[in-house]
Amino acid sequence: MSLFGSLTAAISGLTAQSRALGDISDNVANSQTVGYKRVDTSFESYVTQSNAEMNAPGAVVARPDYTNSVQGTIQQVDGAPLSLAISGQGYFSVAMAKGAQNGTSVFDERQFFTRAGDVSVDKNGYLVNSSGYYLQGWPADGAGNPDRTVLAPIRTNQQVFNPVATSEIDIGANLPPAATTTPVIQSKIYDALGNLHTVNLTFTKTAENAWTLSINAPDATPSTTLGTVALGFNSSNTGSIPAGTLSRMSGATGSVTLPGSTATGDPAAITFSADFGQGAQSVTLNLGQFNVAQGLTQYANSTSEVEVRNNAQNGVPLGAYSGLSIGDNGDVTVNYDNGQSRVIARIPLVAFSDPDKLQRLDGQAFMRTPESGEARVTDIASNGVGKLVTGSVESSNVDIASEFTKLIVAQRAYSANTKVVTTSDEMLQDTINMRR
């Protein structure tokens, strides 16, 4: 009977609008949740009988319409440099802890994914978002190259950066030909334990365009001169060789070793060794190139004093942990207070053929389903996964104004269905009352 059909159809409409109201309330409640993807509602009709002569009342079913592929607004977060947002269709690969064993976290073997990048470092050094999911990445070797065969939770440590003994000193300076004093350049040098020492480079003019370089380290053993070398400079322009450039080295003494060649353009580099208590430490002193106006030169100046343009060395002292940073390419870098840094991992992004078919979980997380397609782990800014925006998070893609509009429509549709139920009930009652 069509009256019963009308009543059944109206009741199904009430149920469908109730589900739509549930989706709207969920969206409104999560309008400020980082990485949340709203759920829209689509309605599907069911037909019991429909032809040219008759259409019997059917029913309606409300189904969720997921918007996992709809980008939320990217917002910069002050004071949270580790926060991450994805501009594109990719996802972060994350892990879920399921306990601890011997003081070490044990993780669920299943794969999880999220867009919530409000990441910080927990007490154990792991990168974790606000929902408790652990950010995963490719571990990096000592040279910072990622191992793409392994995907594991990223964990930092606050170990020290071992000191690096100085092996090279670069000098860029001009020796005035009319010098009235003996110029001395002091260079710093680190030994194998990270202790800082001073090396004195004393330049003594011996003749026109000729100097003697004496190398001395006061706290070396023994604290005598480590060696000397005679230097010669071009007195005039000769073809393409300019005057005032270093042309020759000779007469090395002590631990000083001369370069193998003094041809134009060859490195003007000598080596010497010093013992600061950890054995002989070999150091290369780079003075530029032969017959090229760089490094050590001899030109007139107004002060008749040595002019130092560059005085650098490659050693570093012991370094303590000073912070963590994440680059636009996903490199996770540990920084130390000695100016050094070390890349420990690289964050990849994951792409799916149909992200709207992912299974939703608590904490803005997802799992792969057969309908979503395989999880393709790839480098940032490749294969359509999008770019990484550091210091920012992706907001919920919920539009409050739109949700309120849908709320009004759902309310009116629900009220209309109640009217149909009431009317159908009254008509059935009238039908029953026909028999006196």
* pLDDT tens readout for residues 327-342: 999 999 999 988 889 9
- d(CA 284, CA 267) in angstroms, rounded, equals 11
Residue ranges of domains in the chain: 2-67+397-432, 78-154+348-386, 168-313
| pLDDT value at 265 more than 70 | yes
> Could you give the percent of the chain with pLDDT greater than 90?
71
Number of CB atoms found within 10 A of residue 409's CB: 13
* pLDDT tens readout for residues 216-229: 999 888 777 899 99
H-helix or E-strand spanning residue 73 = none
> Could you give the percent of the chain with pLDDT greater than 70?
99
Structure tokens at 387: 């770019």
| pLDDT value at 436 more than 70 | no
Average pLDDT over every residue of 310-324? 91
Q: Give the strand pairing for 307-313 and 296-297.
A: unpaired
Q: Give the three-state DSSP class for 310.
A: strand
* pLDDT tens readout for residues 86-130: 999 999 999 999 887 776 788 999 999 999 999 999 988 899 999
- d(CA 178, CA 182) in angstroms, rounded, equals 11
173/430: higher pLDDT: 173
In this structure, whether the domain defined by 168-313 belongs to CATH 3.40.50.2000 is answered with no
Average pLDDT over every residue of 53-80? 89
How many helices (DSSP H) and strands (DSSP E) are in the chain?
A: 2, 32
User: Pick from 165, 160, 161: which is nearest to 194 by CA?
Assistant: 165
| pLDDT classification of 202: cutoffs 50, 70, 90 | very high
| pLDDT value at 1 more than 60 | no
b/e map 193-229, b = 16+ CB within 10 Å:
ebbebebebbbebeeebebbbbbbbeebeeeebbbbb
* pLDDT tens readout for residues 219-263: 888 777 899 999 999 988 888 899 999 999 999 999 999 999 989
Highest-confidence segment of 99-113, 273-287, 299-313: 273-287
DSSP state of 357: G
CA 274 → CA 185, 213, 418, distances in Å?
17, 16, 95
| pLDDT classification of 352: cutoffs 50, 70, 90 | very high
